[in-house]
Structure 1
Amino acid sequence: MNRREPNDLKRAYAAWTIAGTSLIVAAVAGSAIIAVVGGTADAGTLVWGIVGIASLLEALVLFAYGLRLRRRYVNQVQTYETRGDYREDDGSNRPRVPLLGDGQSSQRSTFEGL
């Protein structure tokens, strides 16, 4: 079974997490970025501005990379070989057909309370 696709999705989420952290760093250095772009930065502000600009660029690249990985996962055609195994029978006489491509999800809706 090919497990590349779920790993791509996990890598996309990890890239987005790191991109979010980089955006926090860029937000902290926001006024320094404005000072660097405006040309009014002193030595310390210049360092923070460069760190902020680098963090902002890193966040943009990682976000685009995550989108690319997610698009590749979503556009992958799911076949009987790649969608995962059926879950074991738990004795409830309900079918346990995988609803998503990785075979780990199952239907959880019950109508006992109606």
Structure 2
Amino acid sequence: MGTTTRTATDGQQRAFFLWTIAGTSLIVAAAAGAAIVEVFTGTADAGTFVWGMIGMAALLESMVLFAVGLRLRHRYLNQVQSYDSRGDYLPDDGSRRPKIPLLGDGQATPNITNQSLGGN
């Protein structure tokens, strides 16, 4: 049971990790935005040209990492969930209601309280 759950969770965590790196690279690309424009217009000096190339590489890297993260997330969401990959049942809290784990790593619990809808 542990390997299936761990693999599924790792797939989603890897996607989020890649998106974090992609966002950081996008910040670098945004900082080099003016240099990138000058490289494309042909008015960049040597330092601006280097900074523009770094910015273009960071922009390309962020797009690739975002796409790879989307692919990992898509694969995670389309994988068949079974009782083995859902995780263990949650501990009994004495309410005599079954605590079925949510799909995924089984650590999340629903944040729902059954309150009366009446005006009492």
Please report the TM-score for the alignment, with normalisation by the length of structure 1. 0.93
- 1 CA distance for matches of 2:92 and 2:108? 14
Q: How does 1:1-114 map to 2 (within 5 A)?
A: 1=1, 2=4, 3-112=6-115, 114=117
- 2 CA distance for matches of 1:107 and 1:28? 41
- 1 CA distance for matches of 2:20 and 2:52? 22
**Moved >6 Å (runs of 4+):** none
**CA offset digits 1:38-64 (Å, max 9, x no partner):** 111101101110110010000001001
Gaps of 5+ in 2: none
Instruction: Kindly state the Cα deviation for residue 26 of structure 1 after the two structures are TM-superposed.
Output: 0.4
Gaps of 5+ in 1: none
- 1 CA distance for matches of 2:20 and 2:49? 27
- The number of residues matched between the two structures is 114
Q: Percent identity?
A: 62
Please report the TM-score for the alignment, with normalisation by the length of structure 2. 0.89
Q: Which has the higher mean CA deviation after the structures are superposed, 80-89 or 98-107?
A: 98-107
Instruction: Kindly state the Cα deviation for residue 94 of structure 1 after the two structures are TM-superposed.
Output: 2.3
RMSD of aligned residue pairs (Cα, Å)? 1.2
Looking at secondary structure, tell me which structure has more helix per residue.
2
- 1 CA distance for matches of 2:18 and 2:100? 31
Instruction: Kindly state the Cα deviation for residue 8 of structure 1 after the two structures are TM-superposed.
Output: 0.7
